[in-house]
Amino acid sequence: MSTLKKSGEDLDPAAIERQKKECEARLTALAQEEHALGEEDKAVEVKAREVEEKVRALAAEEAELNRRKKLVADEAREVGNRRTDIAARRRKIEKERDAVQARMRSLGMEEQAIQEARSREQAAAEAEKAAVIQRLPPGAEKRTSPRVEVKVEVAMHTEHNFYMGISENLSEGGVFIATYDNLPIGTQMDLDISLPDKPPIHVQGTVRWVREYHKFTEDLSPGVGVQFQNLTDQDQAAIKEFLRRRAPLLYET
């Protein structure tokens, strides 16, 4: 832009006009620059706020990240501790399993030994039982008439004593009476046999065989086998009718 002449100098009106226009143009340009600077300043302020927001967000993210890092570190320590504990417990389980398996093998051998011992004892008991039965008096288990299993009260009167017993089986020829009383073979006695729904039967009898108690024949009750003597026809008929109404236990000839 041209320089204005100082006061007192002659000025060319055209030059003055030209300079005025130049000044106006410059003012307009300056105003535009100032407006542009204002707009740019606004944009910078907006950007600054955005940056501040991002900084705050990054700070919050960093704080959250640090918190999560701490949680992960704590979890990692817990996982390590649990792994150590699991390893120790697994070793304990394996040790106890070995001990239990060893105990099971030992128990298996003990059980086998017990079974073998029981088998030997059972075989010995069966052998002794058979020997005991073989030693029973002749005719102790032989009958010529059906034998019926029946439990009735039997009163036994000998010359000097009175006994009570329970019959286990009955036939037309005699009766087996379960009793622990010691009655020798050949003992004479009077019997009162109470049959169900019948008057008592009074009959004489003689002890023909004795079955003593033995631990190997616990399934066989001790007692005496008594043969009837002088059985009346009426009593014999009553016994026969009683036996007929019951299934025979066995029949031997």
Give the model confidence (pLDDT) of 68-113 as tens digits: 999 999 999 999 999 999 999 999 999 998 999 999 898 988 888 8
CA 202 to chain centre: 62
**pLDDT 10s per residue in the chain (253 long)?**
445 444 445 568 888 899 999 999 999 999 999 999 999 999 999 999 999 999 999 999 999 999 999 999 999 999 999 999 999 999 999 999 899 999 989 898 888 888 887 777 667 656 655 664 555 455 444 444 555 555 667 777 776 667 666 666 678 788 888 888 878 899 888 888 887 777 888 888 899 988 887 766 666 778 888 998 888 888 888 888 877 776 554 433 3
pLDDT computed for residue 125 by the predictor: 55
Domain boundaries defined on the chain: 12-135, 138-244
Length of the chain: 253
Which of 188, 199, 194, 211 lies closest to 153 in space, CA to CA? 194
Buried b or exposed e, range 58-90, using 16+ CB within 10 angstroms: eeeeeeeeeeeeeeeeeeeeeeeeeeeeeeeee
The CB-based long-range contact list for 65-72 (8 Å cut-off, 24+ gap) reads none
CA 45 – CA 50 distance, rounded (Å): 9
- CA-based max dimension of the chain: 195
Q: Which CATH architecture has domain 138-244?
A: Beta Barrel (2.40)
